[in-house]
Amino acid sequence: MLTSNALHRLRTYRVNVASRLSVLALGLALGFGAAGAVAPGAAHAQTSPADAWIDDPRAAFAAGTSAYYSGDVQTALQALEAAAEGGHAVARWKLARMYAAGDGVAEDDARAFTYFSQIANAHAEDRPDTPRARFVANAFVAIAGYYNSGIGGVLSPDHTRSRQIFSYAASYFGDPDAQYHLGMMLLHGEGGAVDVRQAGRWLRLSALKGHVDAQLALGELLYAGADGMRASPADGLKWLLIAGEFALTSDEDQHVRTVQERYFAIANTDLRARALQMAEEWLTSPDGLAVLHARRAEEVATQ
286: in domain = yes
Higher-confidence residue of 28 and 9: namely 9
Inside any domain, residue 216: yes
- pLDDT score, position 11: 40
Going by C-alpha positions, the residue among 31, 2, 20 that lies closest to residue 167 is 20
Q: Quick check: is 236 in a domain?
A: yes
- Is 69 part of any domain? no
Contact 211, 176 (CB under 8 A): yes
Indicate whether 184 belongs to any domain.
no
166 inside domain: no
Residue 118 to residue 192: CA distance in whole angstroms? 27
Number of domains in the chain: 1
User: Residue 199 is part of which domain span?
Assistant: 195-303
Model pLDDT for residues 141-179, shown as the tens digit of each residue: 999 999 999 999 999 999 999 999 999 999 999 999 999
pTM: 0.82
The rounded distance, in Å, linking the Cα atoms of 118 and 122 is 6
> Is 66 a member of any domain?
no
Cα 178 to Cα 82, 136, 235, distances in angstroms: 30, 12, 23
- Using one digit for the tens of pLDDT, what is the confidence trace for 233-292? 999 999 999 999 999 889 999 999 999 999 999 999 999 999 999 999 999 999 999 998
- Residues 222, 273: Cα–Cα separation, whole Å: 17
- Residue 42: what pLDDT? 46
Tell me: the pLDDT tens digits for 174-193? 999 999 999 999 999 999 99
Does residue 79 lie in a domain region? no
